[in-house]
Structure 1
Amino acid sequence: MTALCCLGVCFVLLLKVSAGFGDLRCPENVSVDSLNTRYVLRWDWPHETTANQTVTFTAQYIAEFRSRKAKHDKLWRSVCVNNSEHRCDFTRAELHYQGLYLLRVRANTSQQSSSWVQIGFCPDKQAALGPPSSVKLNAVKEDLEVTITDPLSSNNQSMKTLLDNNLSYLIQYWRRSEGPQTAKVLLTPNNVATLIDLDRQTWYCVRVQSRYEYYDKNSVFSDTHCARTKGQMPYWQIFLFFMASLLLCFLLALLLCFCFYKMFRLLKNTFWPAIQLPEHIQELWLNDSEKPQLLSPASPESVCEPLVMVNAVLDEVEAMDEQSVNAEEQDSSAHSRTGSSDSGVYSTEEDSCHRSTTHTDLQMSSKKHRAQLHDGTLMELCV
């Protein structure tokens, strides 16, 4: 009877153990995401659970040398307990950078727990190295002085002290117009480095990478910083800048002169037009009593009078006509005295006829010529 009771108790215990560990699956893809002294344990849990079960996770760690003891189960230290996220931050555990540790994680429900998933972790070997926390450039004559601040731990401690001063820096520098593809490099263990053999008055860009030679770890590059070197500018550059400035000033002055000329012409044509009214019309406008009155277009009165502009040529033509008439009269009288001595009456009549005919022709010719001259100078003036 006693033996049967013992067997029943053992069977119940086995059922509880199988119910506690046999059904719930373990987390997968467990890894450590680390940078300097910041460590985050990550895992995946793609398994399905029943609707009334909530899965949480527990993460622990232990030093590797302590795990070799017989009763090491009580030496594990929990960092995350019943955590619903698929990550656990081990930064606050303050793991020694050059130590060796074991990290483990399991899934939990209200009734079950999965088995532990365990990995080894050595920060000195596995943790990623960060870039310098700060990079500054200072132009010293024709050179550039690069000041580098060490990458910092989670406690704002220099990583160089944790790496036993085995930290060095790879400096890349190039002209800003060329790009990092043509960059030159400088490897230095110091926090202050000087870049030499640079061009004067030229912009250079710099970025820095942290390097740990013992485990061959390289960080990503820092942000790019640019600065301009000092020193006297070459004479050909000074001459080129002077000519460019002179040309620019000349073009600007030419543009200002052109704008001033256009403005002056506009003002002059507006207030002092080139075409002026005749003097007698200006006198009419100046005399208030003789100002012309505007008439309606339908008024029957004539509002235009002919204005004849006599040129000096007309006076010369009239003088020439008078001289021609006088010459003809003299010729006619002389001819009448010498040519007709027999019949005085006939000669006198013939001379009179000839003289009248010649005088009439000259008058008609003069009038015709005067009319031709007057046609070009006759115009009407509306008053």
Structure 2
Amino acid sequence: MKALRCFSLLLSLSVVTALGDLSRPQNLSLQTLNTQYVLHWDWADDQQTAVNGTLTFTAQYLSVLQSRKAAHKQKWRTVCADVSERHCDFTDAGLNYWGIYYLRVRANTAQWFSSWTNISFCPDRDADLGPPSSVKLTSVKGDLEIVIADPLSSTNESMKTLAPDMHYLIQYWKKPEDYKKGKVLKTKNNVVTLSELDGSTWYCVRVQSCCDFYNKTSVFSDTHCTRTEDGKCSDCEMDYRWIFIAGVTAAVLVLAVIGYIIYKRNSKAGLIQKRDDWRDDGE
């Protein structure tokens, strides 16, 4: 009986040793943009793969609030189960943007699995902020009008709903000058007009998103360039033409009225003169 117990103990120790020999994933990192989160890791011990069989990975998450409970009450949620890739997409896992989580991953074979490797993650603090989803630049009567569309979450929601302090830095410069010589405008507005610009001049614009609370700054949007119109009013020539036509028309109407009045007066004077002449002839 004692021999059987010793054999069982030795077998248990060998199992523990085998489990410990399976390397755990290393170098956990997150590739993020707005509310898109992809966990990456390394696992480079190919010799172990050959010995232990086909290797897969399992990735899970747990909120910090859940982690404060007793171990048997903690509910780790599996996002990727037995995947061969060395990354796992947590975008649709339901992570709250303002929450704090632990993410973990382990290596698996048909019989064994490694210990877990953990990383903490707070989307509001750690996720990268994306640039505007679009920037439109239009020349309007000598000014430049910029229409900025907010960066979008994975569900096409404006990131301003998740980060209310978000604003934009607009950088604009004359072409062909370098952007380093340009000016910078800070704004929370989605429609901005750049005025006091040189007429008939090419300007380039690019925009980046910013959040002050965690000092987040996105990459710049694509650069957009357009040419300002000549002067503050590109339609002035057309306006003057219509003003001239309206003025001539008014003058013609005034002259017509004056002519009609003179004609009526002359006609009336002629009738009076004829009446007087008839009277004289009758006498």
Tell me the SS of whatever aligns to 1:91: coil
Which of the residues 20, 41, 44 maps onto 1:43?
41
Does 1:192 find its partner at 2:191?
A: yes
Tell me the SS of whatever aligns to 1:51: helix
CA contact (8 A) 1:201 1:233 kept: no
Does 1:24 find its partner at 2:22?
A: yes
Summarize the alignment of residues 107-122 of structure 1 with structure 2, pairs less than 5 Å apart. Answer: 107-122=107-122
Is the helix fraction higher in 1 or 2? 1
CA contact (8 A) 2:49 2:55 kept: no
- When the two chains are superposed, the root-mean-square deviation of aligned CA atoms in Å is 2.0
Aligned mates of 2:214, 2:49 — CA distance in 1: 46
Partner of 1:172: 171
Q: Deviation digits for residues 60-90 of structure 1, max 9, x if unmatched? A: 0011110111135750011111111111111
Q: CA deviation at 1:142?
A: 1.8
Q: Which amino acid aligns with 1:202?
A: T
Tell me the SS of whatever aligns to 2:50: coil
Q: CA deviation at 1:213?
A: 0.6
Q: Which amino acid aligns with 2:14?
A: L
Q: Which amino acid aligns with 1:115?
A: S
Does 1:157 find its partner at 2:157?
A: yes
Q: Which consecutive segments of 4 or more residues in structure 1 shift more than 6 A?
A: none
Partner of 2:126: 126
Aligned mates of 2:86, 2:217 — CA distance in 1: 28
Aligned mates of 1:45, 1:100 — CA distance in 2: 26
Q: Deviation digits for residues 129-158 of structure 1, max 9, x if unmatched? A: 110000011222121111100000110011
Partner of 1:138: 138
Aligned mates of 1:233, 1:211 — CA distance in 2: 32
Partner of 1:377: none
Instruction: Assess, with a 3 A threshold, how the Cα gap between structure 1 residues 36 and 123 changes in structure 2: closer, same or farther.
Output: same
Instruction: Assess, with a 3 A threshold, how the Cα gap between structure 1 residues 34 and 181 changes in structure 2: closer, same or farther.
Output: same
Aligned mates of 1:50, 1:181 — CA distance in 2: 52
Partner of 1:91: 91
Partner of 1:103: 103
Larger Rg: 1
Tell me the SS of whatever aligns to 1:22: helix
Q: CA deviation at 1:203?
A: 1.6
Which deviates further from its counterpart, 216-225 or 132-141? 132-141
CA contact (8 A) 2:67 2:74 kept: no
Does 1:205 find its partner at 2:204?
A: yes
Tell me the SS of whatever aligns to 2:21: coil
Aligned mates of 1:170, 1:43 — CA distance in 2: 34
Tell me the SS of whatever aligns to 1:181: helix
Calculate percent identity across the aligned residue pairs: 56
TM-score of the two chains, using structure 2 as the length reference: 0.76
CA contact (8 A) 2:66 2:74 kept: no
Q: Deviation digits for residues 334-372 of structure 1, max 9, x if unmatched? A: xxxxxxxxxxxxxxxxxxxxxxxxxxxxxxxxxxxxxxx
Partner of 2:278: none
Q: Deviation digits for residues 285-341 of structure 1, max 9, x if unmatched? A: xxxxxxxxxxxxxxxxxxxxxxxxxxxxxxxxxxxxxxxxxxxxxxxxxxxxxxxxx
Q: Deviation digits for residues 20-59 of structure 1, max 9, x if unmatched? A: x221011111111111111010011111225361111110
Q: Which amino acid aligns with 2:197?
A: L
Is the strand fraction higher in 1 or 2? 2
Q: Deviation digits for residues 75-117 of structure 1, max 9, x if unmatched? A: 0011111111111111110211111000000111112111000
Q: CA deviation at 1:175?
A: 1.1
CA contact (8 A) 1:174 1:180 kept: yes
Tell me, which stretches of 5 or more residues in structure 1 are unaligned?
235-383
Summarize the alignment of residues 211-226 of structure 1 with structure 2, pairs less than 5 Å apart. Answer: 211-226=210-225
Q: Which amino acid aligns with 1:26?
A: R
Aligned mates of 2:160, 2:186 — CA distance in 1: 16
Tell me, which stretches of 5 or more residues in structure 2 are unaligned?
234-283
CA contact (8 A) 2:171 2:207 kept: yes
CA contact (8 A) 1:66 1:72 kept: no
Instruction: Assess, with a 3 A threshold, how the Cα gap between structure 1 residues 233 and 88 changes in structure 2: closer, same or farther.
Output: closer
